[in-house]
Amino acid sequence: MKNWFPKGFFSRNETLVAVVIIGFCIIATISDPLFFSVTTLSDLLRASIVMGILAVAVMLVLVSGGIDVSFTAIAVFAMYSSTLIALSIWPEMPWYIIFAISISIGAALGAINGILIAGFGLPTLIVTLGTLSIFRGFLLTFIGSERISALPPEMREFSRMMIARGTTESGNFYSLPWAFAALILVIALTWFILQKTMLGRAIFAIGGSHESARRIGINVKATQFFIYVYVGMLAGLAGIIFGSMGRMADPFSLVGWELSVIAAVVLGGARLIGGYGTLTGTLLGVALIVLVQNSLIVIGIPSTWQSVTIGVLILVGTGLPAYQAKRAAAKSA
């Protein structure tokens, strides 16, 4: 009988996550027949935009063998600062200029991480834990701690720009904002970098082994610096989209998102030791986390169990492949 699937297909994280997503959707649809609808799908896609952009950034870091937990602080810092700059200098500033400012601020903060990690060789977790506190503390102390609901008009206008909108036959409203296009562009750009450039090969190489990468002529420090600047740029973009869609610049927003975003990437198959990660797996991980965060109540599970569910998914998603790899190594020994 012909084998329609590649070897190891059913043991890959991507396949396991896809199966869990399908099972979750079936259970939710049985619990509530209206779950599988255009309205639900549009809500889930909206909820995936910011988390998806941040997850792509985190995946890049994990592939390189590092870890970054400061991306939420960068996102909020960039969003809040760019909003204040627009309100102070030019309240009618076009949204794309405000976005460019936020991305630039994110890149500058990411460069700080890059200098400390690539330039001084400090551990990635320690550096980003430190900058997480520094960025957030500096924002609240010196820039502002008040929620800004009167956003620049162009930011509010951006939140109303829709790819599709309408009302279902049952009277439920659905919409998909143009912000979703930003996620598509980020995915496309990151895929091109990883799959079609020497820089992408260098990122995978240093994730496998810094020393081996150096021996084959890869500039490890320059590659690491690029990674953290790029992560900062994506965080700045995610932050300004979050503020625009929420129609509020809140300096306390996105706190605690680190676990959910990293969980999505790890569930998608990215290895904490580096060297492996896929955009497909990352997006499936995001889809699963968004489903858990937004739909537990539908299948009768209290929302207070959200963290427990995510924790269990992380343990299963990382533990099962590790167990399979251990068994495979034992058989080959």
Question: What is the per-residue pLDDT across 228-260, written as a single tens digit (0 to 9) for each?
Answer: 999 999 999 999 999 999 999 999 999 889 988
How many whole angstroms separate alpha carbon 326 and alpha carbon 9?
A: 17
**Mean pLDDT computed over 177-184:** 96
Using pLDDT thresholds of 50, 70 and 90, give the confidence band for residue 120.
very high
- C-alpha 233: how far from its chain's center? 12
Phi, psi of 164 (to 5 degrees): -150, 145
How many whole angstroms separate alpha carbon 90 and alpha carbon 88?
A: 6
Using the predicted structure, report yes or no on whether residue 1 has a pLDDT greater than 50: no
Determine the pLDDT at residue 11. Answer: 55
Q: Is 273 exposed, middle or buried (0-12, 13-18, 19+ CB in 10 A)?
A: exposed
**Mean pLDDT computed over 271-300:** 84
First to last CA, the chain: 30
- pLDDT of 299-327, one tens digit each? 667 767 777 877 787 777 777 666 766 77
Cβ atoms of 98 and 86 within 8 Å: the answer is yes
User: 117: which DSSP letter?
Assistant: I
- Could you give the 3-state DSSP secondary structure of residue 151? coil
Q: Is 51 exposed, middle or buried (0-12, 13-18, 19+ CB in 10 A)?
A: buried
Six-digit token pair at 215?
């021996």
How many whole angstroms separate alpha carbon 101 and alpha carbon 98?
A: 5
- C-alpha 174: how far from its chain's center? 24
